[in-house]
Amino acid sequence: MSNKLQIRRSFLLLAFLAAAFVGLAARLVDLQVVRHDELSAKAEENTEREFWQAPRRGDILDVNGNILATSVAVKTVCADPSLIGNQQLLVARAIAPLLNLNANELAQKLVPRIVRLPDGDFVTNGLHYVRLAKNIPEETWQQVVAAMAGLKLGVDEKKLPRADRDFFRNLRLHSVFAESDQMRIYPNGSLASQVVGFPGTEEYKIDGHLITQIIGRDGVELTMQKALSGVAGWRVTEVDRAHHELVALRDEDVRARDGLNVVLTIDSAIQHIVETALAEAVKKHEPKSITGIVIRPSTGEILAMASLPNYDPNQPNTITPATRDRVITDVMEPGSTFKIVVVSGALNNGVVRLTDQFDCEHGHFLFAGRVLHDAEPHGILTTKEIITKSSNIGAAKIGIKLGAQNLYDYAWNYGFGQRTGIPLPGEARGFLYPVKDWSKDSIAQIPMGHGVAVTRLQMVYAMAAIANGGWLMHPMLVKRLQDRDGNPVQCYAPERVRQVVSAATDHLMVEALKTVPTKEGTAPAAAMKDYVVAGKTGTAEKAEHGVYVHGKYMASFIGFFPADHPQLCISVVMDEPKDGYYGGPVCGPVFRDIAERCASYLNIPPDPKLMTNAPALVVENTARKL
Amino acid sequence: MSKNRKNQAAVIRFGPALKASFLCLLIGGSAVGYVWQKNEIFRLGRQIGQREAQLRQLRADNKQLSDQLAILHSPVMLDRRTKELNLGLAPATPMQVVRLEEPAAPAAPNHLSRQFTQRSLDSVTP
């Protein structure tokens, strides 16, 4: 009897256990198989976090490693209004002075609001998130943290219920938080601002994450955007209740690749020299604008490129259309500086020799129904003297001798009518019309720099070609890309475009151009004490709405030194200068000022020919004794 | 039946007892070891996290300091400071720079005559 009872009880227990296990198994199947996707997503949502790592934007450096643009780590201060309750004014008063904000306006931002998303859903302040201030330094953020931690709420919190205590705890610790960000700064302010450019920010979403990225808007910041920006990284990991990362449970960890540093050919010392000299010239002549370029003729490296007025990229409100980089964006009639094209072309083709004589008609020459004028009347002048005196009539006669097609070909070969390819945005081509579109007098107008429009960069590179044995160089602005530790990633070498004129012709041209900065020439003020200078002046009447405007001039001087072994080629152009308008007297002294300071800085040896009067100097070489 | 039970109760079987104890210890030890290992992993994970944060901070500080140094060294800043301090400094003119020629290699070890360099008119070196 008892055995049967025992067996029955055992079966009952077994059945109960079996039912329990079946129930558990069913629940397990439900959780692990049927609702697997839903529940695993929920679990991941609770613990797994995805962090995006913004790459650090690369620096822009000058040729000597001086910083022209860099990024600094800053904070974007945000708040979760849902954790603030009705304490908006208290929080606002605590942190508004630190963030330089108005307390009442800040309090308004902290009030939870219902926001309708584009997809039609309603959320509170865009998912408990409101941005309070950007570009806040780390030190200021620490002050904000301290201010929030020290909030005096006027109640004895120990006596409050746990829910209220948690509210105050969250208010102090989590209601105001910060996101890491970076800000672009330019330590030298407006120095080379048009070359370096300025930044903007762009926000985009990756997998639902809002990413803020600095992007270039102008200058090298824009053209080298890809190299500077780097690649974002990410980390998929789990966090504990206090939002601390559980490193052991990291799933994916791909580090951000920082942007590369861009090393320019610009030398900030020379840039400073140029900008200082231009600023002094602005005080004296009050031009509408003034530009200065310094390049190395043998390599095409741009050592300085300035245009005034300019802007400070740290202060975006200073950026206006007037502060554009006129060196590459504006075109102008070059005036007499263009004579180097026609004379070098004619010499190269053997059409004229330096000693050939031309009748300059005493300042009045009727050609194709139009009278050409010279600034001063001249009689018979040699080709060389046409350059020295800058005779328009002489240049026109050489142009007629050279022929329209040849003149056009030489102008094209010198790079006019096409972009130089400088890595900066907004470069203009200029205007060089094909021969079929020329008027009857174009052949006489173009040799004296009328009827063509060039950029200042094209003009200085044409002159640099003469300083470089006739070889036109490609403008070089970026020297190399390097990583954060200074290891080169990509280097750029000087690039020849073409040889426009032969070395022999080039030598003749240099001899002619040497006579310009002399007492007999048009630019005695450009002559240097210790160096022989070769160069050419230019004075062009400005054209507005298709007609020349009397009294408005573009004055220019482009030269290089030492004339026989050119190290630097410098261009100075003034738009509507006052107190004189001829290129020689207006731009010549600015050229000399820049050239002398650059020669001193670069330690360019003085021209031996000018050292004959130097006192004999004997120096004991103590270095050998040591 | 009762005799067998009586006999069994009296006998102490050390072998199975030891085996059971060993098994228990093994299981217990494994469990404790597993917990200890997990604990260590999380402790080291925290340390790694702290070190990473420290490294990030040090890199940021280093960058900030090197930027400051670079700015203080920049020609523009030096020029501004020179003008502010009114030190009367000016760039040397090319004629004030004395250029020394590269000394020739010594002809013999005992050749110890004084060497002079004269400013040359035709072979200046940069």
pLDDT digits over A343-391, tens only?
A: 999 999 999 999 999 999 888 898 888 888 888 899 999 999 999 999 9
Alpha-carbon separation of residue B94 from A535, A599, A616, A623 (angstroms): 21, 7, 15, 22
Q: Is residue B74 part of a domain?
A: yes
CB A58 within 8 A of CB A227: yes
In the numeric block, which tokens belong to residue A33?
A: 């198989």
pLDDT score at A373: 87
Asked whether residue B114 carries a pLDDT value surpassing 50, the answer given is no
Interface test with B, best of A243, A247, A250, A602 (most B CBs within 10 A): A247
pLDDT reported for residue B63: 86
Q: 49-88 in A: which are within 8 Å (CB) of B?
A: 65-67, 70, 72-73
**Is residue B31 included in any domain, yes or no?**
yes
Instruction: Give me the phi and psi of A219, to 5 degrees please.
Output: 65, -155
Output the pTM of the full model. 0.82
B91 touches chain A (CB under 8 A): yes
Q: Over 70: is that where the pLDDT of A127 sits?
A: no
Angle at B87 between CA B82 and CA B89, to 5 degrees: 75
CA–CA separation, A316 and A249 (whole Å):
44
Q: Per the domain annotation, does B40 fall within a domain?
A: yes
A621:B94 CB<8 A: no
Please provide residue B103's backbone torsions phi and psi, each rounded to the nearest 5 degrees.
-65, 145
**Residue B4: inside a domain, yes or no?**
no
Alpha helices in A30-66 (DSSP H): 36-47
Contacts of A282 (CB under 8 A, 6+ apart): A290, A308
Partners of residue B77 in chain A, C-beta under 8 Å? 187-188
Q: Which of A215, A270, A177 is nearest to A71 (CA)?
A: A215
Is B119 in contact with A621 (Cβ distance < 8 A)? Answer: no
Question: What residue of A is the nearest CA neighbor of B41?
Answer: A248
More confident residue, A207 or B33: B33
Q: Does residue B55 lie in a domain region?
A: yes
Report the residue from A70, A247, A597 with minimal CB separation from B45: A247
Is residue A473 predicted with pLDDT exceeding 80?
A: yes
pLDDT at A128 over 90: no
Which residue is closest to B119 within chain A, CA to CA? A617
Contacts of A376 (CB under 8 A, 6+ apart): A363, A389
CA A28 vs. chain centroid, Å, equals: 63
Interchain CB distance below 8 Å, B94 and A530: yes
Rg (CA), chain B: 43
Asked if A531 lies within 8 A of B94 by C-beta distance, the reply is yes
Tell me the C-alpha distance between B20 and B27, whole Å.
10
pLDDT score at A207 = 64
Q: What is the pLDDT of residue A59?
A: 94
Note the pLDDT tens digit of each residue in A557-579. 999 999 999 999 999 999 999 98
Query: Count of CB atoms within 10 A of residue A214's CB?
Result: 22
Query: What average pLDDT is seen over chain A?
Result: 89
Contact A288, A576 (CB under 8 A): yes
* Cβ atoms of residues A518 and A387 within 8 Å: no
**Which residues constitute the domain of residue B22?**
15-86
pLDDT digits (tens, 9 = 90+) for A265-301: 999 999 999 999 999 999 999 999 999 999 999 999 9
Q: What would the pLDDT profile of A489-541 be if each residue is shown by its tens digit?
A: 999 999 999 999 999 999 999 999 999 999 999 999 999 988 999 999 999 98
Judge: B119–A72 Cβ closer than 8 Å, yes or no.
Answer: no
Backbone angles phi, psi at A276, to 5 degrees: -65, -45
Amino acid at A444: A
* pLDDT for the residue numbered A84: 85
End-to-end, the C-alpha distance of chain A in Å comes to: 121
CB contacts under 8 A, B 8-67 vs A, are 41-42, 44-46, 48-49, 60, 64, 67
Query: Does residue B37 sit within a domain?
Result: yes
A259: amino acid identity, one letter: G
Q: Is A574 helix (H, G, I), strand (E, B) or coil?
A: strand
The dihedral region occupied by A469, where left means phi > 0, alpha psi between -120 and 50, and beta the remainder, is: left
pLDDT score for A463 = 97
User: What pLDDT was estimated at residue A358?
Assistant: 93
Give the pLDDT score at A245. Answer: 83
Residue-range domains of chain A with CATH: 47-66+188-264 (3.90.1310.10), 75-101+108-181 (no CATH), 268-475+492-608 (3.40.710.10)
CA angle at A39 for the pair A35 and A40, rounded to the nearest 5° = 115
Question: Higher model confidence: residue B109 or residue A112?
Answer: A112
A594 to chain B, any CB pair closer than 8 A? The answer is no
Mutate to test the interface with A, among B54, B61, B76 (most CBs of A within 10 A): B76
d(CA A226, CA A423): 13
- Residues above pLDDT 70, as percent of chain A: 94
Mean pLDDT of the A122-134 span: 71
Q: Which residues of A touch B54 (CB under 8 A)?
A: none
Q: Are B103 and A623 within 8 A, CB to CB?
A: yes
A219-273 per-position pLDDT tens digit: 999 999 999 999 988 888 888 877 778 888 888 889 999 999 999 999 999 999 9
In this complex, is the C-beta atom of B103 within 8 Å of any C-beta atom belonging to chain A? yes
Burial of A418 (0-12, 13-18, 19+ CB in 10 A): exposed
Summarised one tens digit per residue, pLDDT across range A137-171 is: 888 999 999 999 888 877 777 778 888 888 888 88
From A272, A604, A616, residue closest to B79, measured CB to CB: A272
Per-residue pLDDT at A554 exceeds 50: yes
The DSSP code sequence of A488-551 is EEEE----EEEE-S-HHHHHHHHHHHTTTTSSSSS-GGG--SSS--EEEEEEEEEEETTEEEEE
DSSP state of A358: E
CA distance A213 to A57: 9
Q: Is the pLDDT of residue A618 over 70?
A: no
Answer yes or no: do B103 and A246 touch at CB < 8 A. Answer: no
pLDDT of residue B126: 32
Q: To the nearest 5 percent, what fractions of chain A are helix, strand and coil? A: 40, 25, 35
Tokens 């209004």: give the residue. A81
A261-264/A60-61 β-pairing: parallel
* Domains identified in chain B, total number: 1
Q: Counting Cβ atoms within 10 Å, is residue A304 exposed (0-12), middle (13-18) or buried (19+)? A: buried
Q: What is the pLDDT of residues A169-194, one digit of tens each?
A: 888 888 899 888 889 999 999 999 99
Q: What is the DSSP string of B34-57?
A: HHHHHHHHHHHHHHHHHHHHHHHH
A–B interface: beta-carbon pairs under 8 A: 108
Interface of A with B in 242-261 (CB under 8 A): 244-249
Contacts of B10 (CB under 8 A, 6+ apart): none
Distance CA A589, CA A609 (A): 22
Mean pLDDT of chain B: 77
Query: pLDDT at residue A2 above 80?
Result: no
A611: chain B residues, CB-CB within 8 Å: 95, 119, 121
- A 10 A CB-CB count for A16 gives 10
d(CA A598, CA A270): 6
- For A64-81, what is the mean pLDDT? 90
- How high is the pLDDT of residue A462? 97
The CA distance from A532 to A516, in Å, is: 11
Which tens digits make up the pLDDT trace of B63-94?
A: 889 888 888 888 888 888 888 898 888 877 77
Q: DSSP class of residue A4?
A: H
Cβ count within 10 A of residue A120: 6
If one compares A509 and A43, the residue with the highest pLDDT of the two is A509
**B6 domain residue, yes or no:** no
Strand partners, A554: A540, A575
Q: Which residue has the higher pLDDT, B59 or A481?
A: A481
Tokens representing residue A263 in the block: 């090393």
Residue B95 domain-assigned (yes or no): no
Give the C-alpha separation, B44 to A268, whole Å.
48
Contact (CB, 8 A) for A262 and A220: yes
Instruction: Using a pLDDT cut of 90, give the percent of chain A over it.
Output: 65
User: What is the Cα–Cα distance from A455 to A427, expressed in whole angstroms?
Assistant: 8
**Which has more confidence, B42 or B114?**
B42
Separation of alpha carbons A216 and A229, rounded Å: 9
More confident residue, A406 or A86: A406
